[in-house]
Structure 1
Amino acid sequence: MLKRREYLLDHYNRMHMPEDIEMTSRAEQKTKGPVARSFNGASESGSEEFHEKAEANSPEAKEGRDPPRAKWQTADTFRQYWETRKTFFTDEQHEEAWNETAKILKTYSDEVIDRWNKEIDTLLVYAGLFSAILTAFNVQSYQLLTPPPQTDPVLVALERISAQLSGFSVNPPFVNSTQPTFIYRDPDPPSPPLWAIWLNTLWFSSLIFSLSAASVGIMVKQWLHEYSSGLSGTSRQVARLRQLRLKSLERWYVKEIVSILPVLLQIGSALFFAGLLVLLWHLNHTVAIVGTVLVGVLAVFSLSTIILPSLAIHCAYISPPSRALFEYTRPLRNLLYLFRRKLSSWILGHYAFSLPLFSFEAERFQREHPRMYNTWKLLHLDDSFTASKWRWMEFSLLSRPDTARELDGDMVATAYTTALDTRYLHHAAICTTDLTANATRSCFEAIRHANIAHWGEDGHLVPMWSVHPCMWSAAIISLLTVSDDEAAGSQSSSTLAAALETAYDYLRPYSHHVPSDAPRTRLVCADIASIMRLSDRRGSSRSQMISEALYRDCRLTVMMERASELNLGNDIRQYVASACVRTIRQGLDGDVIDHSGTQRSLDVLRCIIPCVPLPGSPDCKPNDREYQSVRAEAVHALDAFTAFLLTPRALEWLEKAHMVFDTLRERGERACLVSPELVRAMASYQELLQDLVRHDNRAWIQDLKLKLELCNDEQVREAM
């Protein structure tokens, strides 16, 4: 391979001596104008002449002034650009998006309040019946703690007198008594038995738990009644008020308090059964044994429903105690999952299989080793565990701009996280243009955490790829508005980095909305181009990292290719092209050898070609100044590529050159961007590499070369 490369370089140097290049360039200059225009109308001289005529006829040129530029085109920082993003959508589109957000928020709020009210009503009925039963038992049990009634002292004295009289003996002259002298003392009350103390402790504690649940439930119903008052309609102001109260419910743990109420009643029931068993064991062992068995069955069933959700997958026995146990046992469950995963992987490896196990492999494994397959199936886990003054105070909070913007972001996050409907994010993308960068960051963090909790660490990316990428470009820009100093001084710098990585992973140009939704596609193209442009100027280390990834993964290139037939507007096309052309010319400069810069330039070159509208497309407006600027930028970029093909280092980039050839063949030729000079450079490049050039590109270049030769022959005949 090394000898092959040295041979090619030596052959290249013999073919392209300086004298030959100079003679070739002089010969091309003689026929460049007419031949180029007749070939594809994309030569630099022809393009410049065409542009000069169109510019002279434009209203701005006649008045002697440049056309006005949009604010998003002149932004120098990410913060300035963020403030201009709302101009990409009309007022009607903004209003529609916020109305959809308010409707979803109202539906969620009404369902939550209604569910809590019904749950508390049921608990109050149970608490009332249970307390009445407990009271009947406690009326009898508390008497066991009181001492037995004392004997009347008069009766005691009479008994002693009677005994003394019967014990007299008369021996004249003496009368003697055989009974001792009577002295009355108050007897000490006997202490209650231990079982009676335990019985009353359990039953009175049970009564307290039951009445506590009823008392707290009544208070919660009062809170919910106050929450619902004054929330009629779906206007944006009412939506903010609803979101403010939802946040208050969350901040003051109302959901957790509602969840505790059934737990209090369950504890009360358990204490009652325990006291009942104490009483039965004291009275009769046979009855106590039967009662213990029945209570034990209930206890086993109750504990099983609490423990099973932490062990089984998709168990329906979800309750506040089981949810709490699930969270507390998460580390242990993760360790168990890893152990089972490794053991199942070892079993597969022993039988020449590996994870992931495809369906046809699983069928073969089951057919050849049925017993081990069943064992592996048990071990392997498919899912990862995975009043009026008050009213005025609320409205005064809503009147604060910072609070209103924060609530807007919370509304968007709540509207999505309540149902996890990815279709809503289509509206949320417009809503983010009205939010501040801080509110958008918080909103994206809520969306990110909800996705991970729902789909898991490994499965939350794919569902987001169907969302229009302008939603995620907004998240990236909002995260990039945080400077390096601010990120370093924050305790959540790692969280910021993780959020930025997730937002970039979400940003994929494969959504079916990209080729059909012009306003949102305009926005995402401008967002990505702004990230590239602003990062190259004065971006932070994080913005430069994102910019490098965008160059490397060709996200903007695929976006422009998919939107080439869309009415993007020449302002967007010119903005993207101007962001690309500087990178292309720097990386393809023959005097500078920078492998990373060359690779980036060849990738970006594939992006600038689809920027030029195809003939017949809505953006193909030859008299439009921005259309002319897009063509000029593309011509300059392809001139740099032409010169690059005539340099020795072009031999090292055959695969990248193939990708550029593919784009030129599919779109560049139709857009009249393939100049005669570029055809000659590609033909020379092909002759040098011979069979290394792919067949489809080789045939296309040969066809272009033949057309150019026929065009030259016709030009010569016309001159004669």
Structure 2
Amino acid sequence: MPYPLTPLSGGDNKQPNPPNEPWAHLAADDPGAELARDARVWKVYVWETDKWDAELVDGWNKSLDLLLVFAALFSAISTSFLLESSGMLKQDPNAVSASALIAISQALIAIANSSSFDPATTLGIGPDSLTPFTPSRNAVVINTLWYLSLSISIATSFLAMLAKEWCASFAAKFVANRTGHPCDQAHRRTQKWTMIERWKMQEIITFLPSLIHVSLLLFSIGLCVYLWDLNTTTAIPVICVSGAAIIFYMLASSKSTDKATSNALAYIQALSFLKPPRRSDKDKGTSISDTEVMIQDFALEQ
């Protein structure tokens, strides 16, 4: 059963405070003083937001820690594949040496047999031999997908580190080290939270896993193309597993009731954090909207 924040004055309308809350011992405010500087609403707001902010920051930190670990492991795995595939973009010196040895052997055999010997033809010294090496189309596709996947993974790790710093700053200032009058603390916390919403901090943190999903998708496509070039029998099971995972991901996202997880395009608005807040916003100070936000936070349903 929810309890009102400020008991009403009067005999029958007065309701008890929750017995297990730290602010249960606070006396009711005088009529008309419910939003005064020493009103109990500020103390209640600070106590409640302390718990809520601590849980929120803890959830952010756990999500970012998991993301950083996975991104590091995935980057290491991608690098090992890129070391192998990068050779497909340049001419193999071993193959060139082998071709030269074969040509020399053919020339020696021709000389030993006293047969006709054309150096340009036998040794491959002709106009065609000067043609620059051109990698195959599949080699270009594979390396493009894998290098792009690695770049996205590294960029995600960088953004996750920045988000960790944001969380540490928020926790240090408004979770662990709140000082001053409860009214001032409440106003500062509301202003800070307004800036978090304006700079899309929550959206950015929630959007970061989607970048890893894109990186995994690119890597999977490149892996399927790579295996198809090597052996189709080996590639078919990998293609089936990758396709099933992609279909499941799309179905799970489309069935989600949470718009934040079902529509990743909405998080593009998080890029607005690159735009600094307007001067008028910084000069407003604490307005009546701050009080409205605090009252709404504690508007409990009867």
What is the SS of the residue equivalent to 1:229? helix
Question: Partner of 1:291 in structure 2?
Answer: 238
Using the TM superposition, name which of 132-141 and 191-200 deviates more: 191-200
Other-structure match for 2:144: 201
Q: 1:163 to 1:155 in 2, by over 3 A?
A: same
Residues 228-237 or 250-259, more deviating: 228-237
Which of 163, 170, 188 is 1:241 aligned to?
188
One-letter identity of the residue aligned with 2:206: S
- Residue of structure 1 equivalent to 2:155: 212
Equivalent in 209, 226, 236 of residue 169 of structure 2: 226
Distance (whole Å) between structure 1 residues aligned to residue 153 and residue 103 of structure 2: 50
- Cα deviations by residue, 1:155-199 (Å, 9 ceiling, x for unpaired): 689658746744669xxxxxxxx4346594553244222222221
Q: Secondary structure at the match of 1:147?
A: coil
Q: Does 1:421 align with 2:300?
A: yes
Task: State which of 193, 200, 207 in structure 2 corresponds to 1:260.
Answer: 207
For 1:281, the equivalent position in structure 2 comes to 228
Structure 2 Cα separation of the partners of residues 198 and 204 of structure 1: 10
1:62-141 equivalences under 5 Å are 88-90=31-33, 95-141=39-85
Match of 2:262 among 322, 335, 356: 322
Mapping of 1:563-582 within 5 angstroms?
none
- Give the superposition deviation at 1:138: 1.2
How many angstroms apart in 2 are the aligned matches of 1:154 and 1:285?
32
Determine if contact 1:199/1:275 at 8 Å carries over to the other structure.
yes
Residues of 2 paired with 1:122 and 1:136: CA distance? 22
CA displacement at 1:103 relative to structure 2: 2.4
The 1:164/1:145 distance shift into structure 2, 3 A limit, reads same
8 Å Cα contact 2:90-2:133 kept in structure 1: no
Work out whether 1:179 is the aligned partner of 2:117. Answer: yes
For residue 308 of structure 1, the aligned residue among 255, 261, 264 is 255
Any conservation in 1 of the 2:163–2:205 contact (CA below 8 Å)?
yes
Q: Count residues with an aligned counterpart.
A: 248
Q: Kindly tell me: are residues 154 and 120 of structure 1, through their superposed partners in 2, closer, same or farther at Cα, counting changes over 3 Å?
A: closer
Listed one character per residue, the Cα deviations across residues 652-705 of structure 1 (whole Å, up to 9, x for unaligned) are xxxxxxxxxxxxxxxxxxxxxxxxxxxxxxxxxxxxxxxxxxxxxxxxxxxxxx
**TM-superposed deviation, 1:258:** 0.7
Q: Aligned AA for 2:69?
A: V
2:285 aligns to what SS in structure 1?
A: helix
Q: Give, in angstroms, the shift of residue 120 of structure 1.
A: 0.5
Structure 2: how far apart are the matches of 1:249 and 1:326?
17
Secondary structure at 1:281 match in 2: helix
1:408 is the counterpart of 2:290: yes
SS at structure 1 position matched to 2:39: helix
Secondary structure of the corresponding residue to residue 126 of structure 1: helix
- Is 1:205–1:271's contact at 8 Å kept on the other side of the alignment? yes
Q: Secondary structure at the match of 1:412?
A: helix
CA distance in 1, matches of 2:223, 2:107: 47
Pair 1:142–1:326, CA change in 2 (3 A): closer
Residue 322 of structure 1: CA displacement?
Answer: 0.7
Q: CA separation in 2, counterparts of 1:108 and 1:131?
A: 34
For the pair 1:151 / 2:97, whether they are aligned, the reply is yes
Q: 1:319 to 1:209 in 2, by over 3 A?
A: farther
Match in the other structure for 1:43: none
Aligned to 1:573: none
8 Å CA contact 1:138, 1:203 repeated in 2: yes
Deviation at 1:147, TM superposition (A): 1.2
1:251 Cα shift?
Answer: 0.9
CA deviation profile, 1:520-570 (whole Å, cap 9, x unmatched): xxxxxxxxxxxxxxxxxxxxxxxxxxxxxxxxxxxxxxxxxxxxxxxxxxx
The one-character-per-residue Cα deviations of 1:304-339 (angstroms, maximum 9, x if unpaired) are 111113xxxxx5xx4744145899xxxxxxxxxxxx
Q: CA–CA distance in 1 between the matches of 2:231 and 2:119?
A: 45
The 5 Å alignment of 1:461-480 reads: none
Task: Look at both structures and tell me which one has the larger radius of gyration over its CA atoms.
Answer: 1
Q: CA deviation at 1:228?
A: 2.4
CA distance in structure 2 between the aligned counterparts of 1:252 and 1:95, rounded to whole angstroms: 31
CA distance in 1, matches of 2:178, 2:217: 45
- Residue 124 of structure 1: CA displacement? 0.7
- Distance between the aligned counterparts of 2:288 and 2:154, measured in 1? 40
Give the 5 Å matches for 1:591-606: none
On the 8 A contact 1:306/1:319 being kept in 2, the answer is: no
Structure with the higher fraction of residues in helix conformation: 1
TM-score (normalizing by structure 1): 0.31
Say if 1:155 and 1:283 are closer, same or farther in 2 by CA, change over 3 A.
closer
Aligned counterparts of 1:302 and 1:163: Cα–Cα separation in 2: 62
Rounded to whole Å, the distance in 2 between the matches of 1:289 and 1:405 is 63
Q: Are the equivalent residues in 2 in contact too, given 1:167–1:179 (CA < 8 A)?
A: no
Q: 1:250 to 1:137 in 2, by over 3 A?
A: same
Task: Output the amino acid matched with 2:287.
Answer: R
Q: Indicate the residue corresponding to 2:7 in structure 1.
A: none
The amino acid that maps onto 1:151 is S
Measured in 1, the distance between the counterparts of 2:78 and 2:222 equals: 11
- After superposition, the Cα gap between the structure-2 partners of 1:147 and 1:201, relative to the gap in structure 1 and judged at 3 Å, is same
SS in 1 for 2:97: coil
8 Å contact kept, 1:240–1:411: no
Task: Give the letter for the 1:409 counterpart.
Answer: T
Structure 1 residue 263 displacement after superposition? 0.0
User: What is the Cα-based RMSD across aligned positions, in Å?
Assistant: 3.5
Cα 1:159–1:298 change in 2 (3 A) is closer
User: How far 1:152 sits from its partner (Å)?
Assistant: 8.6
Q: Which amino acid counterpart does residue 128 of structure 1 have in structure 2? A: A
Q: Where does the alignment leave 5 or more consecutive residues of structure 1 unmatched?
A: 1-85, 170-177, 310-314, 328-396, 423-465, 467-720
From 191, 197, 207, give the equivalent of 1:250.
197
